[in-house]
Amino acid sequence: MLKMKGMKRLLTVLMFSIPAMIAGCSPYCGTQSDDEAAFGAPAAKGCKVYSPSKDPVKDVPFMTRSETQSEDGITVTAAVLSDQESEQIFGFNLAGKGIQPVWLEVENNTGKPVTLVYVAMDPGYYSPNEAAYTNHGFANPTNKDITEYFNEQSARRDIPPGGEVSGFFYADWDPGIKYLNVSVYGENRQHNFMFYFEIPGIKLDYQRVDWDTIYKKDEYVNYETEEQLRQALESFPCCATRKDGTGENDALNFFVVGDTDNIVASFIRRGWDVTEPITPGSGWRAFKAYFTGARYRTSPMSSVFVFRRAQDIGLQKARSSIHERNHLRLWLMPVTYKGLDVWVGSVSRDVGSYMTFRTPWLSAHAIDPDLDEARTYLEQDLLFSGGVKKFGYVKGIRPSTPDDPHWNFMKQPWWTDGYRTVFLFGDNLTSLNEIGIFDWEWAGENSVEVIEYLKSYGAAKKTAE
């Protein structure tokens, strides 16, 4: 009896340890030749050699996408690896571990030492040892080599006067587009170099749009005054439509005005992810995520139509499950304000998924019917992005209530107070106490008093000037 119990314990240990040993060895075997990595060979032989890139910059052409910025004697060059490039260099699927290596070169042409502030670049960054350890195998003889390589390739924090550092920073993984704030600190100085990188590897919905031909030059109408802009936005239709322009679907409940790069950068800075178009590949990934409940940060969105075309850009903030996310759609308008782009948008909150025959993929997202909550979330989120210079409200949607809601094409109800937020973006970062307010309308209680105050405040300010 005792022998039988001992055998059961031994079998249990082997059952759990053998898969771990195999899993621990297989990534490193993948960096070797086929005959070395063959699973028929002894495990020790197949896992003895760790063969990463000896010279990443020369071996993998990621620097062709690098960007450089300079300020007051500090020069920063940065580039983000794609998932494939990361695996080519390090020999592992780092993206699968949530790690995204970022290449940094920092030149200090000042007379004082400076320091890279890692936590400002990414509060969830990985240390070299941590990034290496995620790829260690059980009792694998190459573990030490892996740790040494990750450390050798990492960028150091401290840059002496006249010195330079280069290497990888192990950031949290982001798909599609990555925002990077390289923060450099020194005596009586602080520099923030903001980069935005489009990362190869997945197709994005906005890449299908031919931006050069979306409108002809003579189709644009430019407005030079705030009152002209207000009237144009206020008169814009309340809702998205069918592809032929008929019906009323989802609410169009905000506008963004500014340089498009500044607008998109502000969204990315606040953690919004880009979206994949609906393709067989993305559809399959969405299908798997639907039934497993997995997170899918760039999950495709169904087409919603304005100007008889599907959204030009889709952005989303996914939760831990594909069933829940904040998401929005943007359409470029044939309108400019002082030469700046104007976009109309629709934002809502997905609260779950359900099966339906109304879509070809037999499922749809249920939305929070209180659209003003999603609009308010977007307001507060973007105001903290630093990109918004001024904001306010215009009317344009029939006010509705839970007892008298609007209905979209999926037969889901929604209600709103009827106001739409207008965001004006600037070229420079704006702090919260510097953000201006359009004295047009005001959503919420005491709106009349708020607008009167804003008008009187604006008049007093002009008189003082």
Question: Over 15-76, what HEC string results?
Answer: HHHHHHHHHHHHHHHCCCCHHHHCCCCCHHHHCCCCCCCCCHHHHCCHHHHCEEEEECCEEE
Whole-number pLDDT of residue 249: 96
Environment class of 90 (CB within 10 Å of its CB; exposed 0-12, middle 13-18, buried 19+): buried
Reported in sequence order, the residue ranges of 240-324 that DSSP labels E, i.e. its strands, are 254-258, 273-274, 305-306, 309-310, 313-318
Task: Give residues with Cβ within 8 angstroms of 347, minimum separation 6.
Answer: 253, 254, 326, 327, 328, 371, 374, 375, 377, 378
53-198 CATH fold:
Immunoglobulin-like (2.60.40)
- Give Cα separations from 278 to 7, 287, 295 (angstroms): 53, 12, 17
pLDDT at 33: 41
Count CA within 13 A, CB hemisphere, residue 358.
Answer: 12
Annotate 311-348 with b (16+ C-beta within 10 A) or e (fewer): bbbbbbbbeebbbbbbbbbbbbbebbbeebbbbbbbbb
The separation between CA 393 and the C-alpha centre of its own chain, rounded to angstroms, equals 26
pLDDT of residue 333: 98
CA distance 22 to 222: 64
Tokens of 163: 């010195």
Identify which of 114, 109, 121, 116 has the alpha carbon closest to the alpha carbon of residue 74: 109
Residue matched to tokens 């630093």: 386
- Half-sphere exposure at residue 252, Cβ-oriented, CA atoms within 13 angstroms: 27
Q: Where are the domains of the chain?
A: 1-49, 53-198, 205-464
Q: Which residue has the tokens 């782009």?
A: 341
- Per-residue pLDDT, 29: 46
- C-alpha to C-alpha distance for 444 and 323, rounded to whole angstroms: 30
Q: Under a CB-based contact definition with an 8 Å cutoff, are residues 353 and 364 in contact?
A: yes
**C-alpha closest to that of 300 among 320, 324, 316, 321:** 316
Class of residue 256 by CB neighbours under 10 A (exposed 0-12, middle 13-18, buried 19+): buried
What is the full per-residue pLDDT of the chain (465 aa) written as tens digits? 445 555 555 555 445 444 444 444 444 444 444 343 332 223 333 456 899 999 999 999 999 999 999 999 999 999 999 999 999 999 999 999 999 999 999 999 999 999 999 999 999 999 999 999 999 998 889 999 999 999 999 999 999 999 999 999 999 999 889 999 999 999 989 999 999 999 998 888 888 899 989 999 999 999 999 999 999 999 999 999 999 999 999 999 999 999 999 999 999 999 898 888 777 776 666 666 666 666 677 777 889 999 999 999 999 987 765 555 788 999 999 999 999 999 999 999 887 665 554 555 445 667 899 999 999 999 999 999 999 999 999 999 999 999 999 999 989 999 999 999 999 999 988 999 999 999 999 987 666 666 676 667 555 555 555
- In angstroms, the Cα distances linking 419 to 129, 439, 443 are 51, 14, 6
Nearest to 269 by CA among 186, 338, 158, 195: 195
What integer pLDDT is reported at residue 20 of this predicted model?
A: 45
Helices (H) and strands (E) in the chain, counts: 13, 22
Q: Closest Cα partner for 259 from 387, 107, 81, 160?
A: 387
pTM: 0.78
Residue 460 pLDDT: 58
